[in-house]
Amino acid sequence: MTIQDLLSMSPDAKTSEGARRLYFSRRWRLLGGDGKWLWGEFEVNSPKPLRAAVDLLNANFFCNCRSRYRPCTHALSLVMILNNQPERITVSSPTEWLFEYQQSLLPRHLREEVGPEGATDSAEMKSGGAAAETASSDSALDRAAAVPDKKTAARLQLMSSGIDELELRLLDIASRGLADTNSLGNDFWEDTANRLTDAKLGGLGNRLRSLIRSGEPDLEQQSSIIGDLYLAIRAWKKRDEIPENNYSELLQYAGVNLKKEVIRAQPGREDHWLVMGSAEGSEDRLRYRRVWLRGEQRKRYALLLEYAFGEQPFERSWPLASSWQGTVHYFPGSYPQRAVFPNPMRGGKSYDGLRGYPDFAAMLHDYRRALALQPWLPSYPVYLAEVRPMTKDGVFTLMDNYDHPLPLPADYQNFYTLLAAGGGTPLSLFAEFDGTHLRPLSLFTGAGLLAV
């Protein structure tokens, strides 16, 4: 579903003209989006503003105005803003009223489990109370109340329903086998991912969608992802018993977003940080960027993850090999990686202390230790001191000094750049490791860091 497809759904020329007038209006406020939904509030001569939202994937239009046409001028105007001025839209989590509307779109059996009220009272949430009976214990809700979501109790119930359904689907896959499941086509995986997203388990849904984006089915990758999902299911069912840090990581893996303001309130780590590498991509209608920093004193990595709509620029520029002084605040977890860096200042001095892994054995040893702490580790940053790009059985790989190979991702485009830069000699590079593949992000040369 493209933006032009959405605009073409205007019921008549009059509605389109009215939407164009509202597009220029200064009465829009709280314009937001998350890649799947777009929403905003329009001020009118009333105590409460008009509320409009658009489901970008399924062409579902919502507005509480009195127009009998759908889409109305307000909803169409939101699409025009996305098309022409995406910088006006803030990437964020859905508002309370949109959350309630999304619940109304769910299958009846899920809505009934959430209940008619659908949420706890905000005053009760501040004190850690729960308004409705849930399959979870009170202690789980109290712990989840730390997540900045006023609909915590309802969301936990909805997520638990999605977890139960996912378990049944994974057991069915195990019964029929991956080869037979793949014969159902990508629609099966997409449908399962969409149902997870509907149940507020967007993180798990995105893991399944990665199977579709990878092209031809990779049974090893599929087995790994299904194993991670089943581990998440078992952890969710015992979430009252797992340590606090692991519980926080489980929520983040499932798709619960923590607000940056909450993260900034956490204790920070002061250091001199070097930008080691970055990667960009897109999910739905959002562009994302991963930026890896390394602290000079503590030798710890920090991952900055940013999102933007369309061609809207990211919040800040992080040039490769630039250094910054300041305090980063990590997201909670037993092996924290993701962080926010609210007030960086130019380093203005040389960066020392880089030491790379001499071989893959040392790297894998540390990776296993990290995985024992955080079993849903999405990627592991590595600085490799001496590797050589080679082809092995038609697969692009990197070899260490002991001729142990690790493959590059099938979609990696810069293998021949590495080959030319090395000229047969070992290279020093920074990469992301996902447990199977190495994805180089930057190359250390005599002139400094080079993006690859």
Q: Specify the amino acid at residue 271.
A: D
Strand-strand pairing, 286-295 and 301-309 = antiparallel
pLDDT in tens, 112-154: 444 333 333 333 333 333 333 333 333 343 454 444 445 577 7
74 phi/psi in degrees, rounded to 5: -70, -45
pTM exceeds 0.85 for this model: no
Residues 238-244 have a mean pLDDT of 89
337 phi/psi in degrees, rounded to 5: -125, -55
Place of tokens 């409009």: 52
Cβ(369)–Cβ(380) below 8 Å: no
Domain residue limits, the chain: 3-95, 106-254, 268-346, 360-451
Helix or strand (DSSP H, E) at 357 = none
Top-confidence residue, 2 or 305 = 305
Structure tokens at 138: 């009170």
Residues 172-197 have a mean pLDDT of 89
Look over the chain and give the mean of its residue pLDDT values, rounded to a whole number: 85
pLDDT in tens, 251-268: 999 988 887 777 888 889
Q: Which residues of 269-303 are buried (b: 16+ CB within 10 A; e: fewer)?
A: bebbbbbbbbeeeeeebbbbbbbbbbbbeeebbbb
Q: What was the pLDDT predicted at 157? A: 84
Asked if pLDDT for residue 436 goes beyond 60, the answer is yes
Cβ(376)–Cβ(392) below 8 Å: no
Cβ(349)–Cβ(324) below 8 Å: no
Percent of the chain with pLDDT over 70: 89
Residues 56-78 have a mean pLDDT of 91
d(CA 239, CA 242): 5
pLDDT in tens, 396-429: 999 999 999 999 998 899 999 999 998 888 999 9
Where does the pLDDT of residue 215 fall: very low under 50, low under 70, confident under 90, or very high at 90 and above? low
Q: What was the pLDDT predicted at 259? A: 77
Q: Among 168, 154, 149, which Cα is nearest to 111's?
A: 154
